[in-house]
């Protein structure tokens, strides 16, 4: 149990296009080198224009998802509106930092569209240090590989279909080089008209 | 006679009444009415918004109707500020239940919790009771569509149709005859 963040494995990448965002993840759930499930969901819909992807320790993933649903339901009832992606990013950041000396072992990726339909991307470490980007953000056990593949293939201003192709290729190449991530992949594409979900045919190892 | 026993919430009168609770109900009788009707196909809530001043700005939120969770909503009659406290508590309780059990809170549970909060103010602390009555409408997998009413004593009951606020006795007799 040397590295808690890679105990269960898992990887997420998110990319921005022209008035759209895509977020993709693998589907492996492991216990160190043993794979125990291939249908793990890491990306969660927080509302129609906001997706949250979580990498790291699986139990903290589940807990954080439940916790953010709790907070967002209350937010929606009190404020009578949906939370903006950047506001949600701040909520995630402060929630993680509140556990500064006993953290959640989770590194989130937030992908959303703001009220004008412009993309919002954000990745964080387990203590809530966030990095916003206009292009792409990555988290998980194949993060370093993904930075390479994204840097190579990414172009700004892609439409939803091209963005889907690009993000899929970036993810699949990176997954092939990581034994702790893989066993299937899925992509969510978020546009002002809605969320599309696609499963990728990947190497099942 | 009532004067001697009505300034403290936490004492009974010789006739066995809690005057502060009854006075709270008086306050509710002056507020805008709310009505609820239950059927096998759904529940309906209606509320009268009393316009206290033409100068008041149009508000996006309602002072009469609130969502507690996706499957439960309520109508309010009485002191709005008191209602806000209880509504916030109910919303948080519903989310805590959802967080703990990953199931939506059964309608009766949330009503009971609200009732218990109200009851505490009739027995402890020397604070006045809440001057609000609620009609809760909701659906769950256990009992389907349901309608409940609460009052400042903390008592609650399940109803086929009910009314609170101004002229509620009249509303009740109309609902009874229909």
Question: ipTM value of the model?
Answer: 0.83
Task: Dig out the tokens for B40 from the structure.
Answer: 């096998």
Nearest to A77 among B60, B91, B98 (CB): B91
pLDDT the model gives residue B164:
97
What's the confidence (pLDDT) of residue B10?
76
pLDDT, mean over chain A = 96
Which residues of chain B are modeled with pLDDT < 70? 1-2, 5
Q: How far apart are CA A96 and CA A88, in angstroms?
A: 12
- pLDDT-derived band at A1, boundaries 50, 70, 90: confident
pLDDT at B111: 98
The confidence score (pLDDT) of residue A84 equals: 96
| Average pLDDT score over residue span A153-176 | 96
The verdict on a CB contact (< 8 Å) between B98 and A69 is: yes
Instruction: Tell me the pLDDT of chain B averaged across its residues.
Output: 93
- pLDDT number for residue A114: 95
Pick left, alpha or beta for residue A6 (phi over 0 → left; psi -120 to 50 → alpha; otherwise beta). alpha
d(CA A177, nearest CA chain B) in Å: 36
Residues 76-115 of B with CB under 8 A from A: 88, 91-92, 95-96, 98-99, 102
* Closest CA relative to residue A162, chosen from A150, A154, A152: A154
- The pLDDT, as a whole number, for residue A205 is 87
From B59, which residue of chain A is nearest by alpha-carbon distance?
A80
- Name which of B95, B97, B100 to mutate to probe chain A: the one with the most chain A Cβ atoms within 10 A of its Cβ: B95
Mean pLDDT of A85-112: 97
What's the burial of B99, exposed, middle or buried (CB within 10 Å: 0-12/13-18/19+)? Answer: middle
For chains A and B, CB pairs below 8 A equal 26
Q: Quick check: A15 and A135 in contact, CB under 8 A?
A: yes
Beta-carbon separation of B99 and A66 below 8 A: yes
**Averaged pLDDT, A24-39:** 96
B-chain CB neighbours of A80 within 8 Å are 60-61
Q: Output the six-digit token pair for A110.
A: 């937030």
B165: left (phi over 0), alpha (psi -120 to 50) or beta: left
SS3 A63: helix
pLDDT of residue A12: 98
Q: Which of A9-23, A102-116, B51-65 has the lowest mean pLDDT?
A: B51-65
Element (H, E) at A64: helix A58-79
Mean pLDDT of A163-167: 97
Closest residue to B99, CB basis, from A70, A77, A78: A70
């Amino acid at each position: 149990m040397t590295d808690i963040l890679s105990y269960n494995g898992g990887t997420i990448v998110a990319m921005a296009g022209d008035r759209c965002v895509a977020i993709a993840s693998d589907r492996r759930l492991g216990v160190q080198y043993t794979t125990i499930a291939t249908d793990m969901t890491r990306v969660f819909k927080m509302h129609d224009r906001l997706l949250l992807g979580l990498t790291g320790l699986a139990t903290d993933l589940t807990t954080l998802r439940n916790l953010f649903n709790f907070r967002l339901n209350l937010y929606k009832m009190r404020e009578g509106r949906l939370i903006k992606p950047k506001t949600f990013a701040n909520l995630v950041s402060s929630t993680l930092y509140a556990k500064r000396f006993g953290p959640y072992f989770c590194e989130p990726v937030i992908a959303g569209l703001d009220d004008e339909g412009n993309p919002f991307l954000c990745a964080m470490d387990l203590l809530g240090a966030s990095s916003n980007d206009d292009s792409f953000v990555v988290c998980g056990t194949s993060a370093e590989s993904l930075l390479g593949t994204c840097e190579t293939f990414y172009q700004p201003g892609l439409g939803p279909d091209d963005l889907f192709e690009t993000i899929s290729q970036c993810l699949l190449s990176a997954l092939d080089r990581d034994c702790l991530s893989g066993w299937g992949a899925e992509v969510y594409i978020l546009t002002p008209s809605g969320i599309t979900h696609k499963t990728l045919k990947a190497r099942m190892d | 006679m009532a004067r001697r026993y009505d300034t403290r919430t936490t004492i009974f009168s010789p006739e066995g009444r809690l005057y502060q609770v009854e006075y709270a109900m008086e306050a509710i009788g002056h507020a805008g009415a709310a009505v609820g009707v239950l059927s096998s196909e759904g529940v309906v809530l209606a509320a009268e918004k009393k316009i206290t001043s033409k100068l008041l700005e149009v508000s996006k939120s309602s002072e009469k109707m609130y969502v507690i969770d996706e499957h439960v909503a309520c109508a309010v009659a009485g002191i709005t500020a008191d209602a806000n406290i209880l509504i916030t508590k109910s919303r948080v309780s519903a989310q805590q239940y959802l967080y703990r059990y990953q199931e939506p809170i059964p309608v009766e549970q949330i009503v009971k919790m609200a009732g218990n909060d109200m009851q505490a103010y009739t027995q402890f602390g020397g604070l006045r009771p809440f001057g609000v009555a609620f009609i809760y409408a909701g659906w769950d997998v256990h009992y389907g569509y349901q309608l409940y009413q609460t009052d400042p004593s903390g008592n609650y009951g399940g109803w086929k149709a009910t009314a609170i606020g101004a002229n509620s006795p009249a509303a009740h007799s109309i609902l009874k005859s229909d």
